[in-house]
Amino acid sequence: MIEWKEEYAIGISIIDEQHKKLFEIASDAEELLLMSNNIDKFDEIIDIINNLTDYVAFHFAAEQEIMEEIKFPKYFSHRVEHQDFIDELQKMNISAIDKDQQSQLLHIINLVIDWITEHVLEKDKGFAAYYKQVSEKL
Q: How far is the CB of 123 from Fe ion (least distance, A)?
A: 6
Nearer to Fe ion (CB atom), residue 61 or residue 96: 61
Please list every residue from 60 through 119 that binds Fe ion, using CB under 5 A.
63
| Interaction between residue 124 and Fe ion (CB under 5 A) | yes
Q: How far is the CB of 119 from Fe ion (least distance, A)?
A: 6
Question: x/- site string to Fe ion, residues 28 to 67, per CB under 5 A?
Answer: -----------------------------------x----
Q: How far is the CB of 124 from Fe ion (least distance, A)?
A: 5
DSSP characters over the chain? -----GGG--S-HHHHHHHHHHHHHHHHHHHHHHS-TTS--HHHHHHHHHHHHHHHHHHHHHHHHHHHHTT-TTHHHHHHHHHHHHHHHHT--HHHHHH-HHHHHHHHHHHHHHIIIIIIIIIIHHHHHHHHHHHHH-
CB 45 within 8 A of CB 97: yes
Q: How far is the CB of 134 from Fe ion (least distance, A)?
A: 17
For binding to Fe ion (CB under 5 A), which residues are involved? Answer: 63, 124
